[in-house]
Amino acid sequence: MRVQVHSEAQRAVVRTAMLDLWSDSDTGATFDVVMDLEGLDALRERGIAFEVLVPDIDVVAAAERARIEGAEIARPGNWFAEYRDYDTVDAYLDVLAARRPDLARVEHLGVSTNGRRIRALRLSAAEGEAKAIVVNGGQHAREWISVMVSTCVADRMVAGYDTDPRIRGVLDARVVWVAPVINPDGYVHSWESDRYWRKNRAEPYGVDLNRNWSVGFGGRGSSSNRRSQIYRGPHAFSEPETRALRDLITREPVIAHVDFHSFGQMILYPWGHTKKPAPERDRLAALGDAMASAIAATHGERYKLMSAADLYTAGGTALDWSYGEGGADGFTIELRPTGGSGFVLPPEQIVPTCDEGLAAVLALAERVD
């Protein structure tokens, strides 16, 4: 629902009653929340105005599930015509490497809480040491489009090296690492049990990986409550998933990092943990602006550009670590859609969203050094 609050008392009622927040913040006069029927009763009792945006998000998830199961039996088709599960995405990295062993190889980054492997495709035609760009998806389990777009960026680079001079230019000069599923346990849980699961699967309630990084760890916009959707974990890098990505960025000469999320269509640059401008704010914003323009040039969609903290302050996120400790220009890109059904995006939008993701990565790779 979209709720409208007229007092801090009403806001407190909504905060207690809501199961999840789907707006960027719950501090304004209106914001979008997930509620059950009991929560709705609480709103009615207090006379809090609300509008139903999606009557039942479980119905939306069930329809998606039915579609995916039907599609799998009916036709394998274009790989990017439908969302793919963890095993299929992980296996596809091997397919891409086998297509162009001269350009691509699969590397092991680490092992998740429940023993699943976290892998990346290393793409390059550069000779000797070349600077690297890291692209990842799936820190948040339910943000399926981030997994598909990351995989698709890798696919396009493999397919386009011989024919697309821009891709060739990037891969001749740089190493591009693509890790589509940083949180495999969460992703599997989102496919098999709870479509709207966000965190990893650490016992007992999971950790929000994008609050588990060390820069600004423990700060505002993260929680010490283990049940919270933004639970940061017991200490920075307590989770094997964040360590796996951190170790890659530490070990390689990484100059830029794109962390794909959904949803909201935004490009966010450091800082996220403080409203203070980053030392190189203007340079970061210029890179972000180039990405936003490149995205708009593909399908006319607008991605808003701002510092992450201008969206909302959050300590312990990946982009701040990449920039503050990792020596890389870190960006969070919130992919499609802008709202509506949120994490459940129609599969027809995978390819156009991939066009946007690739445009952003190429624009960044061509400018950053």
Please state the closest distance from residue 102 (CB atom) to ligand 0X9, in A: 35
Which parts of 138-177 interact with Zn ion (CB under 5 A)? Answer: 140, 143
Binding to ligand 0X9 by CB under 6 A, coded x per residue (else -) over 178-197, reads --------------------
DSSP 150-219: HHHHHHHHHHHTTT-HHHHHHHHH-EEEEES-S-HHHHHHHHHT-TT--S---TTT---GGG-SSTTTT-
Identify the active-site residue in 252, 334, 348, 366.
334
Tell me if 329 sits within 8 A of 255, measured CB to CB: yes
Tell me if 125 sits within 8 A of 161, measured CB to CB: yes
Single out the residue of 159, 298, 312, 341 in contact with ligand 0X9 (rule: CB under 6 A): 312
Which parts of 247-266 interact with Zn ion (CB under 5 A)? Answer: 261
DSSP 31: E
Residue with tokens 């346990």: 185
Please state the closest distance from residue 261 (CB atom) to Zn ion, in A: 3
Please state the closest distance from residue 344 (CB atom) to ligand 0X9, in A: 14
Which parts of 3-32 interact with ligand 0X9 (CB under 6 A)? Answer: none
Q: How far does CA 185 lie from the centroid of its chain?
A: 15
- Buried b / exposed e over 17-33, threshold 16 CB at 10 Å, is bbeebbbeebeeeebbb
Please state the closest distance from residue 140 (CB atom) to ligand 0X9, in A: 5
Closest to ligand 0X9 by CB, 245 or 308: 308
Size of the site for ligand 0X9 (CB under 6 A): 15
Please state the closest distance from residue 119 (CB atom) to Zn ion, in A: 20
DSSP 140: S
Position 118 contacts ligand 0X9 (CB under 6 A):
no
Instruction: Report the residue number whose CB is nearest to ligand 0X9.
Output: 272
Single out the residue of 120, 167, 181, 309 in contact with ligand 0X9 (rule: CB under 6 A): 309
Q: For strand 329-335 and strand 254-262, is the pairing parallel, antiparallel, or unpaired?
A: parallel
Q: Which residues contact 43 (CB under 8 A, 6 or more apart)?
A: 1, 3, 13, 14, 17, 35, 50
Residue 1, number of CB atoms within 10 A of its CB: 22
Position 336 contacts Zn ion (CB under 5 A):
no
Closest to ligand 0X9 by CB, 96 or 356: 356
Active site residue 64: no
CA distance 207 to 307: 24
Tell me if 175 sits within 8 A of 218, measured CB to CB: no
359 binds, among ligand 0X9, Zn ion, none (CB under 5 to 8 A by kind): none
Position 261 contacts ligand 0X9 (CB under 6 A):
yes
Judged by the rule CB under 5 A, the positions of this chain that interact with Zn ion are: 140, 143, 261
Active-site residue numbers? Answer: 334
Judged by the rule CB under 6 A, the positions of this chain that interact with ligand 0X9 are: 140, 143, 210, 261, 268, 272, 308-309, 311-314, 317, 332, 334
